Amino acid sequence: MATGRNAEKRGGGTAHGRNRLLRLAHGHGMALSAACGLSVAAALCGLVPFWGVYEILQATTDGDGPSDPHAVLGWAAAVAAALIGRHLCAALSTGLAHRVGFDILHAVRAALIAKTQRLPLGFFLDRPVGRLSHVFQEQVEILELFFSHQLPDMVAALMAPLLCLTLMALIDWRLAVAALGILPLAWAGNAWMMRGHGPRIGAYFGLIRTINAEAVQFIQGMELVRSFTVRGGAGGGLGGRLVDAIEAFRRFALEWQTRWLPGWSLYAVGAGTAPLFVAPLGLWLHGRGELEAPAFLAALLLSGLLGPPLQKVTIYGELYQRVRKAEEAISAILDAPEPPVAVSGSEPVREGRAFAVAFDAVSFDHGGKPALREVSFTAPAGGITALVGPSGAGKSTAAHLVGRFWDVGEGAIRIGGADIRTIPPERLKAMVSFVFQDSTLFNGSVLDNLRMGRPDADRETVAAAARAARCHDLIAALPEGYDTPVGEGGARFSGGERQRIAIARAILKDAPILILDEPTAFADAENEALIQEALSGLMAGRTAIVIAHRLDSVRHADRIVVMEDGRVAAAGRHDDLMAACPLYRDLTDRQAEVLRWRLPGTQSDVRSGFEQEA
Ligand SMILES: Nc1ncnc2c1ncn2[C@@H]1O[C@H](COP(=O)(O)OP(=O)(O)OP(=O)(O)O)[C@@H](O)[C@H]1O
């Protein structure tokens, strides 16, 4: 059975990522420990004034005056130092933790970027952009927030109640025990609040991912949205889905808050009511002469300090669950299986200017749905091979497999005799160039975009490639020439102009194999002629696989492979196929019909196509 993308699931998993938080912290252990220690020190300093006041009261209410004036002064100084020390420690802790947080933020983003360059391109075709950008942005920031803020605060919030109880026990252990009376109520509130919390956090992130994915589609499809404003039309659909996603999130958040509130209220009341347990016992002990007034007062004040850190502990516990989910999403990318490189099993690549590309009984499924079945054909070295066939026949899938967007399920694709799975990914990347129907340009100058093909190319070489791709004049006429910014996604250029720049990029890259996916699909007549000229320059001496819907553009190809339903129906030259392949004849007839219906002047006549000398 062809396995295709299913193999990805088997090889994946997040086993390596289980302790990723710990691994991320590794190397920052000293700084993180210092940040947490300083945070605890700040909490301790916050308690010193209470203890100091207690000591001072003890010393001054004993008799006619302070029994030990030096001790009183000493405690006053300690209180003052603690007030300053508390803020100093907190500031140092924050500073240290932020350094670690931003280091980790940087390291995770760098790891994600490096990983995404090693992942097969199919990984990105299979996932919505919004979902991936949510991981790169928000979820990485959740980790940064955790290390910068939450971890030191959480440690301090856990330690503060223990310190409080210790001081109370030093005053009178019975009062400390009484303060523990808050625990049953707080525990019950916490348990109530946390019911079903794990799945809800998962649902929370799921809804945010949906909003991101819909927002990206909505903005990218704005032209469509504006053109179809009719109620229930495609535009209404895109906008409507985003509105629905936002509304679903609002409903979810409100429902979650409603469920969470009673438990939280119970917990907050429970955690904050220690004085109610301490006061009656203290009064009773004081009445029996077993507890002095200053000690009673200090214990009462200390018990009042138990509530806020305990409330923080719960909030941080909830935030920690979000951190775990974010870490899981990041790990799912970092631990995703990379295309394996087999070390043996085929001939080595036979060096040469051009390489033949051979499909050998290739089968492939898209997530269980068969897309290619035992496809075999050879694209001859240095020649043009056209893939034609009805929509959904598997042409794009076959072309993508040459670049290992996904790995074949069964069979093999060979370049120059070598199974592409044995070719190191960097080498394969250098061997194959793609030009798609609608090429993307990246924010940056025209020069930056062209140099993606060859980063070390000098300006003269870049200009020569642009001349060959018929876009030099267009670029030279721009206000800053080759240094002109292209605008977001190349917005400054028409579709046809973008295609010619993409072709110049491919000329610079100088890969021996070209995959062209209908590169003239969206061009007007004038641009189409220019793109054809540019492509002729690009294809010279290279092995080209061209996906073509318009058969007239490839009638001169060296080989035409007719695909139907994931299989090769026939292969040969135009004349042979016209004689022997009814499907090809039918496709050609239908196209001729379309050309007859074309409005006069809107499109070029049947073109010369990719000429054989190309
Ligand atoms: N990323 C994908 N995920 C799931 N199914 C896919 C994916 N890409 C293609 N398919 C399915 O695989 C089959 C072959 O699609 P493919 O795009 O390769 O055909 P095609 O001949 O290039 O079609 P077209 O001419 O319309 O572009 C179709 O049934 C299609 O729905």
For every residue of 223-255, DSSP letters joined together read HHHHH--STTSHHHHHHHHHHHHHHHHHHHHHH
403 C-alpha to ligand 1 centroid (Å) = 16
188 and 277 assigned to the same domain: yes
Q: Which atom of ligand 1 is nearest to the CA of 398?
A: 18
Q: Check: CB of residue 536 under 8 Å from CB of residue 614.
A: yes
Q: Output the residue whose Cα is nearest ligand 1's atom 28.
A: 392
Alpha helices in 61-120 (DSSP H): 69-118
Question: Looking at ligand 1, which atom is closest to the CA of residue 389?
Answer: 21
CATH number at residue 108: 1.20.1560.10
Whole-number Å distance, alpha carbon 345 to ligand 1 midpoint, is: 29
Name the closest-CA residue to atom 31, ligand 1: 392
Judge if 10 and 157 occupy the same domain. Answer: yes
User: From the alpha carbon of 122, which atom of ligand 1 is closest?
Assistant: 1
Structure confidence by residue, pLDDT tens digits, 199-231: 888 888 888 888 887 887 787 777 666 665 545
CA 370 – ligand 1 centroid, Å: 10
Cβ(139)–Cβ(326) under 8 Å? Answer: yes
Residue nearest to atom 3 of ligand 1 (CA): 366
Q: How many helices (H) and strands (E) does the chain have?
A: 25, 10
CATH of residue 388's domain is: 3.40.50.300
Rounded Cα–Cα distance for residues 401 and 436 (Å): 14
- Please give the structure tokens belonging to residue 189: 């509130």
pTM reported for the whole predicted model = 0.65
| Cα of 395 from ligand 1 centre, angstroms | 8
The alpha helices in 4-68, defined as continuous H runs, are 6-11, 20-25, 29-60
Whether residue 441 lies inside any domain: the answer is: yes
Which atom of ligand 1 is nearest the CA belonging to 566? 14
In a domain, 448, yes or no: yes
In the reported structure, the alpha carbon of residue 396 is separated from the centroid of ligand 1 by a whole-number distance in angstroms of 7
Best residue for ligand 1 mutational test, from 126, 388, 396, 434 (most atoms within 8 Å of Cβ)? 396
In a shared domain, residues 284 and 390: no
- Using an 8 Å Cβ cutoff, are 225 and 242 in contact? no
Containing structural domain, residue 45 = 6-334
- Identify which of 192, 193, 174, 190 has the alpha carbon closest to the alpha carbon of residue 303: 174
The Cα angle at residue 34 between residues 307 and 49, in degrees rounded to 5: 40
Pick 280 or 214 by higher pLDDT. 280
Q: Has residue 603 been placed in a domain?
A: no
Work out which ligand 1 atom sits closest to the CA atom of 563: 21
* Ligand 1 atom 2 nearest Cα: 366
pLDDT surpasses 50 at 6: no
What are 68-89's pLDDT values in tens digits? 777 788 888 999 999 999 999 9
% of the chain beyond a pLDDT of 90 = 25
pLDDT of residue 172: 92
| Ligand 1 geometric centre to CA of 126 (Å) | 12
Residue with the smallest CA separation from ligand 1 atom 10 is 366
Rounded Cα distance between 185 and 162, Å, is 18
Radius of gyration of the chain (CA): 35
What are the C-alpha distances in Å from 132 to residues 70, 115, 137, 191?
Answer: 65, 13, 9, 34
143 within some domain: yes
Distance of alpha carbon 167 from alpha carbon 49, whole angstroms: 12
Q: What is the pLDDT of residue 236?
A: 53
Q: Is 254 a member of any domain?
A: yes
Ligand 1 mean position to 391 CA, how many Å? 8
Q: Compute, in angstroms, the gap from residue 580 CA to the centroid of ligand 1.
A: 26
ipTM for the predicted complex comes to: 0.96
**CA nearest 10: which of 337, 472, 443, 310?**
337
Q: Within this chain, do residues 267 and 391 fall inside the same structural domain, yes or no? A: no
Mutate to test the pocket of ligand 1, among 123, 127, 366 (most ligand atoms within 8 A of CB): 366
Q: Provide the token pair at 532.
A: 């054809």
> Does one domain contain both 223 and 87?
yes
Under DSSP, the state recorded for 182 is G
Which backbone phi and psi does 589 adopt, to 5 degrees? -60, -45
Task: Indicate the pairing of strand 432-435 with strand 513-517.
Answer: parallel
Centre of ligand 1 to C-alpha 366, Å, is: 8
- Pair 313, 391 in one domain: no
Domain count, the chain: 2
Backbone phi, psi, residue 359, to 5° = -95, 125
Other CB atoms within a 10 A radius of the CB of residue 258 amount to 9
Nearest alpha carbon, ligand 1 atom 23: 392
User: Residue 256 has what pLDDT?
Assistant: 87
Distance between CA atoms of 500 and 535, rounded to whole angstroms? 9
Estimate to the nearest angstrom the gap between the alpha carbon of 297 and the chain centroid.
55
At 340-387, the pLDDT tens digits run 766 565 555 655 556 899 999 999 998 888 999 999 999 999 899 999
CA dihedral sign of residues 395, 378, 386, 576: negative
**Atom 24 (ligand 1) nearest CA:** 391
Ligand 1: centre distance to CA 412 (Å):
20
**4-13, 476-485, 530-539, 595-604: least confidently modelled range:** 4-13
Residue 524 confidence (pLDDT): 65
Question: In this structure, is residue 487 part of a structural domain?
Answer: yes
Q: Please state, in angstroms and rounded to a whole number, the distance separating the CA atoms of residues 112 and 136.
A: 8
Which atom in ligand 1 lies closest to the alpha carbon of residue 399? 18
CA distance 579 to 576: 5
161-204 pLDDT, tens digit per residue, is: 899 999 999 999 999 999 998 888 888 888 888 887 778 888 88
Atom 12, ligand 1: which residue's CA is nearest? Answer: 371
Residue 318, pLDDT score: 77
**Whether residues 314 and 455 fall in one domain:** no
496 within domain boundaries? yes
- Cβ-count burial 335-347 (b if 16+ within 10 Å, e if not): bbbebeeeeeebe
Shared domain for 442 and 582, answered yes or no, is: yes
* Mean pLDDT score, 431-437: 85
Residues with CB under 6 A from ligand 1: 125-126, 366-367, 369, 371, 389, 391-397
Of ligand 1's listed atoms, the one at least distance from the Cα of 397 is: 18
Q: How far is the CA of 548 from the centre of ligand 1 (A)?
A: 14
20, 96: one domain: yes
Query: What's the rounded Cα separation, in Å, for the pair 192 and 505?
Result: 61
The long-range contacts involving 211-216, CB below 8 angstroms and separated by at least 24 positions, are 211/130, 211/242, 211/245, 211/246, 211/249, 212/130, 212/131, 212/133, 212/134, 213/128, 213/129, 213/130, 213/131, 214/130, 214/238, 214/241, 214/242, 214/245, 215/130, 215/242, 216/128, 216/129, 216/130, 216/133
Shared domain for 293 and 388, answered yes or no, is: no
In a domain, 367, yes or no: no
Confidence check: pLDDT of 602 > 50: no
- Kindly state whether residues 465 and 581 are assigned to the same domain: yes
Together in a domain, 389 and 324: no
Centre of ligand 1 to C-alpha 78, Å, is: 75
Whether 604 and 528 have beta carbons less than 8 Å apart is answered as yes
Determine the average pLDDT of the residues in 424-444: 83
